[in-house]
Amino acid sequence: MWNWYTWPTLESFDAWHADAMVHENIPHPGRNEATGEIDPDAQWTVAYTDSTIVAVDDVRARVQPEVAAAVPDGMGTPCDAPPTPPMPDEVTP
């Protein structure tokens, strides 16, 4: 299960994310999902999670609880998922 967290700036998220990547040994080669073996043709994992900029002072990302506990320095604050943007057909011109 992944939980949402918020950081006050993209720079603060990036600093925490860099530490999370070290903890998770990222980057690393992709693995075959069925066997767990390294797959030389698979795409490498190059990030732990992606951030979503909601506002100037609200950068959100999903984080696994065990990673949040293992990398507490600079960890964001628990929050709700960011608002879902409207679908193109829901936008009034």
Query: Across-strand partners of 77?
Result: 6
- The gap from C-alpha 88 to its chain's centroid, in whole angstroms, comes to 25
- 28 is written with which tokens? 């690393």
Is pLDDT of 93 > 70? no
Is pLDDT of 8 > 90? yes
The pLDDT tens digits for 36-91 are 899 988 889 999 999 999 998 999 999 999 999 999 999 999 999 998 876 666 65
40/57 Cα distance (integer angstroms): 40
